[in-house]
Structure 1
Amino acid sequence: MSIYLDEKNPSKHKPFLDASADVVEYVRYLEVIAGKSANTAFNYYCDLRNFSRFMKQRRGLVPEDQPLSEIDPKGLDTAFWGSVTREDIYEYLYFLNQNCGNKKSSTARRLASLHGFYDYLVNQVSRLEQDPTSAVRPPKLDKVLPKYLTAEQSLDLLESTRFQSDFPERDYCMVVLFLNCGMRLAELVGMNLEDIDFAQRQVRLFGKGHKERMIYLNDACVEALQRYLEKRGSLEGLSPKERAVFVTRRRKERISNRRVEQLVTGAMKAAGLKGFSTHKLRHTAATLMYQTGNVDILTLKQLLGHSSVGTTQIYTHLQEFQVRAAIEANPLGEVSAKRDALSSGNETEGDVLYTSEQGSHEGSGDTAFSEGSSPANGVLTGAEEADEPNPGQPMEALRGAAKEGFGLDLEALDPSEPELQDAKPE
């Protein structure tokens, strides 16, 4: 974790001073004027320090064999930033890709930091006249579909939270909120008691850029929260002034992002789930909600707290299983000509079309449609829809999920069970 940021107080940090004066002032501008979060400002700060080290090495201001991480990023004045050329920027991007192994998304993020920094120097404080990054475009990003858990895997994960710590009510509640509300890790950790409104069945979240939004709580969320808060209230030594919803059992303070990740990772491992991160639970919530067909893209955008609908559109790939089902249900897909008729050249026999179900059909060339289908629009009948294999997620498990949500029998969450006896306290 950074020496600057405090996970338990994400809005507080030590002064960012380990960089040139222009960089430090820019980071302060991001937080105070632009309203960026401490985490966003810190990421930009790290990017600019890394660029400072690269440029010192490129200009021969440090020994050539000195490791990049050991180069002091301070000591570069405004005139130096003004001497940076477009070629320097391209070389830096090449360095990130070839030497650092950065993905396209990481390279684009670091270029965005440089764009913002030079925009600040040129347009905000008028210290420079030229912006060397103005004509540099980010790499074209690959369109990667979000990885998510199936409904069955989600239930397995919830079940496994019973065995990962001496506080199963808390761990279960956190996973329930992730899977049902699609909240970010920082949003869950930052929740305070006053943010929960059981009367209105909603919770207030503070997302990126200090954006506030209200999230509806379904039955599973309400039940899990009420059970956990009852246990939380009985913790010995917990200060009544502690407003954090989720706390550690040993220190009686707000749980950290890292600890939540450890708990979720442990639960996933116990459930036999590999290759999933905590953030994938957010993708899972969005995916399962979208697959029910009851959530449009704009509603999903608001629910997830996206600033642009373009970000939310990544979930539109989830319609693919419906498209495939519609194509496979098309009655023309079952029509085939009799092989021996085609091979023999018999025009009379060749005009006859057969479906895979019939095996043969006597007619004058009219296509045979299965009963109940519509050649005009290809709409699935009730029978076809029920029999259609789903290449996406098991949709039957999602029936009613919008109201009840994903949850288990909470009476099974008994910390006195043998599996919990050997659990180590935090």
Structure 2
Amino acid sequence: MSIYLDERNPGKHAPFEDAAPDIVEYVRYLEVIAGKSANTAFNYYCDLRSFSRFMKRRRGLVPTDAEFKEIDPKGLDTAFWGSITKEDIYEYLYFLNRECGNKKSSTARRLASLHGFYDYLVNQVNRLTEDPTAAIRPPKQDKVLPKYLTAEQSISLLESTQTQSDFPERDYCMVVLFLNCGMRLAELVGMDLGDIDLEQRQIRLFGKGHKERMVYLNDACVEALQLYLHKRNTMEGLSPKEKAVFITRMRKERISNRRVEQLISGAMKAAGLKGFSTHKLRHTAATLMYQTGNVDILTLKQLLGHSSVGTTQIYTHLQEFQVRSAIEENPLGKVLPIKATKASLDTTEAAGETSAENAPAGEDNSEPSGPMAAFEGAAQDGFRADISAMSAEETDDSSNDT
């Protein structure tokens, strides 16, 4: 974790001073004027320090054999930033791709940092007159469908939090909120007791850019919260001044992002789930609600706290059964060749196989008569708290709830 950011107090951090003065002032502008989160400001700060190191090496200001991470990012003035050309930017993007192995999304984020920095120097503080990044567009992104758990896998994860955890009430509650509300990790960790209103069945969340939104709770969330909060509030040694909802078992203080990730990863491993991160639980909630909850894209946008509906549209992908159903519903899907043409093309008899016309009496070789059945169920029901008591039939029903 960064030496600058404090996970338990995400709004606080050490001063960002290990960079050129223009970069330090820009990061302060991001937080104070632009209202960006400490985490966003920190990411931009790291990106610009990386660019500083690259340009020092490119301009021959450090020995050629100097380790990249050991290059001092300080010592660059406004005149230096004014000397940067479009070719320098392109070389940096090439460096990120070829030498650093950055994905397109990471490269685009780093270019966005440069765009923001030069916009600040040119338009906000008027220190430069030209922006070398103005005409440079980010690399075209690959269209990758979000990875998510199926409803059955989600049930397995919930079971795992109750059987493999040393604080099952807390861990189960966190997973229930992730899967039913689509919270971000930072939103869950940053929740305070005053943000929860069980009587009105809602939670106030503070998302990216300090944007506030209300998330409503279904039965599964209410039950999980009641169970956990009773356990939390009766813990010996807990300070009455502690306002964090989710706390550590030993220190009894706000749990960190990293600790939540460790707990979720452990529960997933115990459930036999591989290749999923904590953020994938947010993808899971969004996907299952869209597919089984009759939720339109604008409602999903509001629920997830997206700034643009374009971000939400990644959840409109179709499942395999929906694609199969669409193909089966094609009116031309039932059109068969005329008998003569079929006979001339049918080689199954010569190959020693049995054609549909020569099939033994009583054997049904007919095509499926209709599309595959879609999910049934409503998203608002949620996962039930007492999983151990579910029958096989109830488990099947719950697999459609998020």
**Mapped partners of 2:181, 2:65: distance in 1:** 50
**CA apart distance, 1:70:** 0.3
Per the alignment, residue 404 of structure 1 pairs with 381
Contact in 2 for aligned 1:85/1:132 (Cα 8 Å): yes
Matched, 1:70 2:70: yes
Matched, 1:169 2:189: no
Contact in 2 for aligned 1:301/1:312 (Cα 8 Å): yes
Contact in 1 for aligned 2:4/2:16 (Cα 8 Å): yes
Contact in 2 for aligned 1:224/1:410 (Cα 8 Å): no
Per the alignment, residue 18 of structure 1 pairs with 18
The amino acid that maps onto 1:403 is Q
Matched, 1:223 2:223: yes
Contact in 2 for aligned 1:179/1:285 (Cα 8 Å): yes
Contact in 2 for aligned 1:220/1:405 (Cα 8 Å): yes
Contact in 1 for aligned 2:159/2:387 (Cα 8 Å): no
**CA apart distance, 1:293:** 5.0
Per the alignment, residue 202 of structure 1 pairs with 202
Q: Tell me which moved more, 83-92 or 317-326.
A: 317-326
Per the alignment, residue 182 of structure 1 pairs with 182
**CA apart distance, 1:234:** 1.2
**Mapped partners of 2:35, 2:208: distance in 1:** 10
Give 1:138-149 correspondences, 5 Å limit.
138-149=138-149
User: How many residues get paired?
Assistant: 372
Instruction: Show structure 1 runs of 5+ residues with no match.
Output: 346-355, 360-369, 371-382, 413-426
Per the alignment, residue 300 of structure 2 pairs with 300
**Mapped partners of 2:302, 2:22: distance in 1:** 37
Identity of aligned residues (%): 80
Q: Secondary structure at the match of 1:159?
A: helix
Superposed CA offset, 1:200-258 (max 9, x none): 10000000000000001000000000000000011110000000000001000000000
**Mapped partners of 1:192, 1:168: distance in 2:** 20
Q: Secondary structure at the match of 2:318?
A: helix
Q: Secondary structure at the match of 1:336?
A: coil
Contact in 2 for aligned 1:164/1:263 (Cα 8 Å): no
Matched, 1:27 2:27: yes
**Mapped partners of 1:237, 1:293: distance in 2:** 42
Superposed CA offset, 1:183-210 (max 9, x none): 0000000000010111110000000000
- Runs (4 or more) in structure 1 with deviation over 6 Å come to none
**CA apart distance, 1:317:** 1.1
Q: Secondary structure at the match of 1:25?
A: helix
Contact in 2 for aligned 1:287/1:318 (Cα 8 Å): no
Per the alignment, residue 213 of structure 2 pairs with 213
Superposed CA offset, 1:83-137 (max 9, x none): 1111100000000000000000000000000000000000000000111111111
Instruction: Show structure 2 runs of 5+ residues with no match.
Output: 346-355, 360-366, 390-402
Matched, 1:274 2:251: no
**Mapped partners of 1:319, 1:163: distance in 2:** 31
**CA apart distance, 1:35:** 0.3
Superposed CA offset, 1:129-182 (max 9, x none): 111111111100000000000000000000001233310000000000000000
Per the alignment, residue 155 of structure 1 pairs with 155
**Mapped partners of 1:186, 1:10: distance in 2:** 9
Give 1:47-66 correspondences, 5 Å limit.
47-66=47-66
The amino acid that maps onto 1:107 is T
Matched, 1:38 2:38: yes
The amino acid that maps onto 1:95 is F
**Mapped partners of 1:82, 1:341: distance in 2:** 75
